[in-house]
Amino acid sequence: MSCLSPHVPDRRQPGCTKLAWFDPWGGARVRVLAWTCDCLAIVYELCQAGGQGFIRRTLQNEDAPEIRETHRWPIPQARDVWAALLTGRAR
Ligand SMILES: [Zn+2]
């Protein structure tokens, strides 16, 4: 099986930023801009809603997926956080 989407690396960089995760806000329509591979138990998505960006984390439990979201940021900042996540500089 080959993976087409990126994986969040196992190894965290020194000084890795610890993201805060909250229950989903719900409400506004969410557009998914990017996502990590779903071959791992935890899938991350870069999302946009109402002109802001955030990251959604889904733990793929068998019965009920556990969903958490970060703070919302301006889109460019959300993209920076996304890039940091994919390179082990944020988690
Ligand atoms: Zn994969």
Ligand 1 centroid vs 70 CA: distance in angstroms? Answer: 23
Distance between CA atoms of 78 and 13, rounded to whole angstroms? Answer: 19
Give a yes or no: residue 21 inside a domain.
no
Q: What digits encode the pLDDT tens for the residues 60-76? A: 988 999 999 999 999 99
Q: Please state the domain count of the chain.
A: 1
How confident is the model at residue 27, as a pLDDT? Answer: 75
- pLDDT average per 10 residues of sequence, the chain (91 residues): 90 95 88 96 96 96 93 97 97 95
Burial 38-70 (b: 16+ CB within 10 A, else e): eeeeebbbbbbbeeebbbbbbeeeeeeeeebbb
Give a yes or no: residue 9 inside a domain.
no
Cβ < 5 A residues, ion ligand 1: 3, 37, 39
Distance between CA atoms of 56 and 86, rounded to whole angstroms? Answer: 13
Q: Hunting for tokens 């329509």 — which residue is that?
A: 29
